[in-house]
Structure 1
């Protein structure tokens, strides 16, 4: 299906694409007039004194419909933020128009299609709003369900204790370290990830280059009076490294980044088939406080379909090793919407995980990313329908509650199989602080290693600029001196 989406401002048309895709996920959207379109949409915004309006029009064959939403700018929160209010009203008009036209039930997140919806709540809390008023505003202004408004507000309230202000916001940073190697590439994966079997010759020079980047950034941060609050070693699969390389890397992290200000170090041991007692004991000795063991599903058939070589039994073994190694905070990831799975399959996975008694549970809604094998061969995978995925997330929420966990961070992604969310649950005292800082973007996060992204944040204004390392290990190794110099300069510019 071809849809034309026109506007009196190109920026509005670009913004409205996400709303159109809620109703027509597979449509081809043209932002210019085309005679080939089957559905024509027009969106516009207007300012008349203190009154602002968003309008949407629809034409399909002989059918014509229109919708308008208006507001008094002076009565809206942050009246100086005219640009974003106009965008919201236009999206709301279009959302209501397409809801009526298609007869589809409104999605639970309404027009809130952004990745970090908790930012809206934090901004309102900063302005002194009370939770009940925030929930009412979210449902009215974004057409969000009351259930999601409560979830979003509660999650943000739990995060407030971790958001830094004043001197702390300038002095404390977090560090992400990316290891872009895995035993195999999962069918849904779009992260920087290279098979360790096919890239074996690159592993040692990559570790050496990464160690150099860690040392250089550690020195630069120290010279500027910056201290590392949290470290997150992710990937890929960090534990795919052999014991010697992993221990060497952890020693460099400990020597270069860790101080009395460091309160959390996470190590992803996401693939249970890479976990050994030797590696996890070394991690504990080097100060790692949190480890993540990620089954994604406990269904052996699904594990084979998505290209993971471990078994449910290996998940249990890896978890037991982590406990024996002394870890008191263990996270487990599951994915709702994996190919061929039903809500009953997810319920079985959750029941199996509950036996382990983890402190964290992260529940992802599967996203079909362009770089994934699932996207490249869609006909070979049976994708779960949206209603089934919604059931899965409800079961996960209930299971997390029974395990004594509450939501502590939340984000969304593009191309989800259902327009829902990813949620991190945790028991009291076991929140992953890095996850909160990374999602809320109120702290500078320096990304080191393959494909790692850095976010340089100006405290107070929360102005952010991003910088990314090369994804390809060979390019990263070759350009490491240039990468280090650019990153040190960027860090100094935000001093």
Structure 2
């Protein structure tokens, strides 16, 4: 489909494109009066911050119009409020024209919908007023409104104050190797068998980055609250390599303020008694064993080199080492799976009783093999995805868990969300701080992103290390120097 945009509408193309694509996925937007229909958009600011946006839709000689009025919560937010009004006007006119409401999230197409709620709570709003605002100003469905307000209610006591955020940071360490690449994966991930020659140079560079950054943090009086080893699959390293990494973390990054250390064991085929012993001795207190599905046919399709029995074995062994928190990840919408398959997966998860459960809705990414094989593995219809989501939500409730963090991605099946559940007291601190962006997160290793937070304004700068191990090694000095600058800058805020 081709949709013509008026000059003003085209100026706001970046603002309204996601809304249009909710109704017409992938529609081509052109700055001229051509296409299946024409969309006009006018916006204005009047006296005392009274704002309005009006959308007009012209189709086959007929027209529809929708006007939205509002005002910013604070004067500095005039541009953002104009964008919200534009999105709402376009959304409502397309609902009227199409007769459908394609997303339970209304005009909230961003990654972090909970940030809106935290901002309103910071202004002293009550939970009820926040819910009413979301229903009215963002067109959220009531169940999604209740979901994000309940999530933020759990998060509030765990967020840092501005004073704490000037002192405490989180650290993410990216290990770019896996036993094999999963069909849906879009992360920086390299088969450790095919790229074994990369591992030692990468690890040498990573240990240097850990040492220099750790020493600088301490010299500047900054403390590490949480450490997260992700990837890839960190436990795909051999025991000698893994031990050297864990020792470097212990020596350079951990301190008395480090209350959480997560390792993505991820793939059960990388876990054995020796690996569990190393992790336990290093003080890992949150371990992820991520099956994604407990159906063998699905594991085979997505390229997993382990069995369902391996998952049970790994969890049993992990329990023997008494890791305080066990997390398990699932994905709904995997190729070939049905609602019944997801129900069977949840029956298995209920037997394993993890303290954390993270449920992802499959997102179609350009860098994934799945994107190239859609003819082979067509995506689910929205109704099936929602039914799967409901199965996982029921399972989490049966485990006594509550939703404690969430985020959304582009092209998710069913326009759903990724959601983390936890038993009380087992919420992942790193996940909350990273998603809500109320803390500096320092990314070390391949593909690792850093979020440099200004605690006075809650504004941030995002920076990334290279996704290729060779480029990471070659540019290491640049990455280190950049981080040292930001660390020194953060220390001046204390």
> TM class, shorter-chain normalised?
over 0.9
Query: Which runs of 5 or more residues in structure 2 are unaligned?
Result: none
Which deviations, in whole Å up to 9, do the C-alpha atoms of 1:42-87 show, x marking residues without a partner? 223112224311111222333322211112x2xx533541111111
Q: Secondary structure at the match of 1:350?
A: helix
Report the TM-score, using the length of structure 2 for normalisation: 0.97
Instruction: State the aligned residue count.
Output: 490
| Corresponding position: 1:47 with 2:45 | yes
1:203-214 mapped onto 2 (5 Å cutoff): 203-214=199-210
Task: Specify which of 358, 365, 368 is matched with residue 369 of structure 1.
Answer: 365
| Corresponding position: 1:423 with 2:419 | yes
1:191–1:11: structure 2 CA closer, same or farther, 3 Å change rule? farther
Aligned-partner Cα distance in 2 for 1:217–1:98: 50
1:288-299 mapped onto 2 (5 Å cutoff): 288-299=284-295
Q: Secondary structure at the match of 1:46?
A: strand
Aligned-partner Cα distance in 2 for 1:454–1:96: 37
Q: Secondary structure at the match of 2:269?
A: helix
Aligned-partner Cα distance in 2 for 1:7–1:341: 45
When the two chains are superposed, the root-mean-square deviation of aligned CA atoms in Å is 1.3
Query: Which runs of 5 or more residues in structure 1 are unaligned?
Result: none
| Corresponding position: 1:257 with 2:256 | no
| Corresponding position: 1:193 with 2:189 | yes
Tell me what 2:61 maps to.
62
Aligned-partner Cα distance in 1 for 2:309–2:38: 54
Tell me what 2:330 maps to.
334
Tell me what 1:174 maps to.
170
Aligned-partner Cα distance in 1 for 2:33–2:247: 60
Q: Secondary structure at the match of 2:261?
A: strand
Aligned-partner Cα distance in 1 for 2:98–2:28: 17
Aligned-partner Cα distance in 1 for 2:7–2:225: 45
Q: Secondary structure at the match of 1:418?
A: helix
Aligned-partner Cα distance in 2 for 1:45–1:416: 31
Q: Secondary structure at the match of 1:3?
A: strand
Q: Answer with 474-483 or 92-101: which moved more.
A: 474-483
Aligned-partner Cα distance in 2 for 1:264–1:437: 12
Task: Specify which of 278, 282, 290 is matched with residue 282 of structure 1.
Answer: 278
1:318–1:44: structure 2 CA closer, same or farther, 3 Å change rule? farther
Q: Secondary structure at the match of 2:258?
A: coil
Q: Secondary structure at the match of 2:12?
A: helix
Tell me what 1:432 maps to.
428
Aligned-partner Cα distance in 1 for 2:473–2:361: 34
1:286-435 mapped onto 2 (5 Å cutoff): 286-435=282-431
Tell me what 2:473 maps to.
477
| Corresponding position: 1:230 with 2:230 | no
Q: CA deviation at 1:115?
A: 0.4
Report the TM-score, using the length of structure 1 for normalisation: 0.96
Segments ≥4 residues shifted beyond 6 Å? none
Q: Secondary structure at the match of 1:318?
A: helix
Tell me what 1:137 maps to.
133
Q: Secondary structure at the match of 2:293?
A: coil
Q: CA deviation at 1:11?
A: 5.0
Q: Answer with 144-153 or 20-29: which moved more.
A: 20-29
Does structure 2 conserve the Cα–Cα contact (< 8 Å) formed by 1:184 and 1:307? yes
Tell me what 2:237 maps to.
241
Does structure 1 conserve the Cα–Cα contact (< 8 Å) formed by 2:264 and 2:288? yes
Aligned-partner Cα distance in 1 for 2:2–2:11: 20
Q: CA deviation at 1:205?
A: 1.2
Q: CA deviation at 1:348?
A: 0.9
Q: Secondary structure at the match of 1:45?
A: strand
Q: CA deviation at 1:482?
A: 2.1
1:353–1:440: structure 2 CA closer, same or farther, 3 Å change rule? same
Does structure 2 conserve the Cα–Cα contact (< 8 Å) formed by 1:174 and 1:443? yes
Does structure 2 conserve the Cα–Cα contact (< 8 Å) formed by 1:450 and 1:476? yes
Q: Secondary structure at the match of 2:375?
A: helix
Aligned-partner Cα distance in 1 for 2:165–2:187: 29
Aligned-partner Cα distance in 1 for 2:337–2:38: 37
Tell me what 1:33 maps to.
32
Does structure 2 conserve the Cα–Cα contact (< 8 Å) formed by 1:192 and 1:450? yes
Q: CA deviation at 1:463?
A: 1.1
Q: CA deviation at 1:476?
A: 0.8
Aligned-partner Cα distance in 1 for 2:453–2:159: 13
Aligned-partner Cα distance in 1 for 2:489–2:122: 27
